[in-house]
Structure 1
Amino acid sequence: MRLVGTRTHRLATVPYRAAGPGGVPQNVQLGIERLPVDTLPAGCDALLAAGDLQGVAPSPFGGKPELLGIALADYLQVWAESGLLPPADRVGVLLTGDLYSAPGADRRGASGAVLDVWLAFAAAGCPMVYGVAGNHDEVTAAQVAELGRNVALLDGDRRGFGGITVAGGSGIVGDPGRPLRRTESDFLTLLAELTTPPPDVLLLHEGPNGDRAGQLGRPTVRSTLARRAPMLTLCGHVHWTEPVAVLGDGHVVNVDARVVVLMA
């Protein structure tokens, strides 16, 4: 599965609240953008990739603000009814972590439970929900596995669906005494294992730097992945204004605080 174009096309936006400097809540917009790929896994007419959904928003059906990822899952029905996206049961989901927000969107870098985001996409009928955990997520692979056969939190493992292979590594480089952190050496060793052989899609929270200014990331991750680059690497943790970069024969797509819909 490879990109056949690198220019995104805006499909929609979702208004939400996120913590700004000093924890002051801000009104912001989540962009929903389309990228073309040459093929999709059998059983899917689109793949929705998202990460760093650190905000709150009401469901399009009303109610109090909830985690942005939960509201996003509800929007799938709205977009399907308008013809913007295929029905949810034809939309696979790829998550790159950091799905939590303080309930009042008034504290930056808050950590908390995010299982309900995974549950929302599974309950919407998405045929596959694979992802990794970010450093602010409180969730376990065992909890996620209870949501369905094709719902999986990946950390050093891979899963197949519809003819494609998805691998994932959770967390970031940091003090291994803290949750969801590894030494840089251990993180790079994990990446080398995950890309032997390269999966079709690699999910990371902390990813490589890109190939142009402003595409921040970890250079050692880039050099490790370049040896056996996946066709598509999805990551977040830091925001890129330009979301696509070339890596070897494939591409990196940054989905920090954005949604990218991959469609053939």
Structure 2
Amino acid sequence: MRLVSTRPQRLATVPYRAAGPGGVPQNVQLGVERLPVEKLPAGCDAVLATGDLQGVAPSPLGGNPVLLGIALADYLGVWADSGLLPPAGRVGVLLTGDLYSAPGADRRGASGAVLDVWLAFAAAGCPMVLGVAGNHDEVTAAEVTEFGPDVALLDGDRRGFGGITVAGISGIIGDPGRALRRMEKDFLTTVEKLTAPAPDVLLLHEGPTGDRAGQLGRATIRTALERRAPPALTLCGHVHWDEPVATVGDGHIVNVDARAIVFTA
């Protein structure tokens, strides 16, 4: 899944509500953008990558507002019917975590259960749903595994699907006494373990710095990736980049914080 262009093309937007300063709900838009890659996993005509979906939105199927990730999964069928995307059964999904919002979108940094987001993508028929947990997610690998053999929450491990290998590290660097945090040394050791040899795709919640101003992240994670041939594609979130693509070695970083990227061949 090596990028052949670093210029995203806008496909659609999804309106949603997110907590602004002081917890005041705001109306915002989730951008859905396309990036071409050299190769997709067998069985997929597209791969959707997304994270930091910390908001609520009306589903296109109707009903009360739901977690933004659930609404996004519901849009897959709508977009397939309009010809914008392939059928959901041909769309793989990669998640970089932080998929929860307070129900009223009135509290920033809320933590809670996100299993229903994973279920929504699996129930839509997506053949692959692989991801990591963010520091605000309440979900376990055992819960996710119940949704199928190619649905997996990764944390220091890797999975193969359709001829590609995906590795992932959940959580962030921080006090290991708190949920989904590990010491920096342990996090970097895990990065080095997972990149020897490099997977095709590395999923992180907290990612490396980019190569442009404003592409914030952990410089030490970038250094760990640069010590050897980095993955063709590193996906991350946790902090937002206005410009979502950066280079690292001969690979690329794509920041999917509060955006959805559709990779196509």
Same fold at TM > 0.5 = yes
| 1:228-258 deviation digits (Å, cap 9, x = unpaired) | 3100000000000000000001000000000
Please tell me whether residue 184 in structure 1 is matched to residue 190 in structure 2.
no
How far apart, CA to CA, are the structure 2 residues paired with 1:192 and 1:61?
Answer: 43
How far apart, CA to CA, are the structure 2 residues paired with 1:238 and 1:263?
Answer: 25
Please tell me whether residue 74 in structure 1 is matched to residue 80 in structure 2.
no
Please tell me whether residue 58 in structure 1 is matched to residue 58 in structure 2.
yes
How far apart, CA to CA, are the structure 1 residues paired with 2:8 and 2:31?
Answer: 11
> Displacement, 1:226?
1.2
Give 3-state SS (helix, strand or coil) of 1:260's partner. Answer: strand
Corresponding position of 2:34: 34
Q: Which structure 2 residue ranges, 5 or more long, are not aligned?
A: none
How far apart, CA to CA, are the structure 2 residues paired with 1:175 and 1:227?
Answer: 25
Give 3-state SS (helix, strand or coil) of 2:225's partner. Answer: helix
How far apart, CA to CA, are the structure 2 residues paired with 1:113 and 1:62?
Answer: 22
List 4+ stretches of structure 1 deviating above 3 A: none
Superposed CA RMSD in Å reads 0.4
How far apart, CA to CA, are the structure 1 residues paired with 2:112 and 2:196?
Answer: 33
Counterpart code for 1:88: A
How far apart, CA to CA, are the structure 1 residues paired with 2:126 and 2:163?
Answer: 17
Please tell me whether residue 193 in structure 1 is matched to residue 160 in structure 2.
no
Corresponding position of 1:258: 259
Q: Which structure 1 residue ranges, 5 or more long, are not aligned?
A: none
Counterpart code for 1:239: H
Corresponding position of 2:248: 247
TM-score, length-normalised on structure 1? 1.00
TM-score, length-normalised on structure 2? 0.99
> Displacement, 1:61?
1.3
Matches within 5 A, 1:173-252: 173-228=173-228, 229-252=230-253
How far apart, CA to CA, are the structure 2 residues paired with 1:17 and 1:212?
Answer: 29
How far apart, CA to CA, are the structure 2 residues paired with 1:64 and 1:235?
Answer: 30
Give 3-state SS (helix, strand or coil) of 2:247's partner. Answer: strand
How far apart, CA to CA, are the structure 1 residues paired with 2:199 and 2:249?
Answer: 14
> Displacement, 1:259?
0.1
Corresponding position of 1:9: 9
> Displacement, 1:263?
0.3
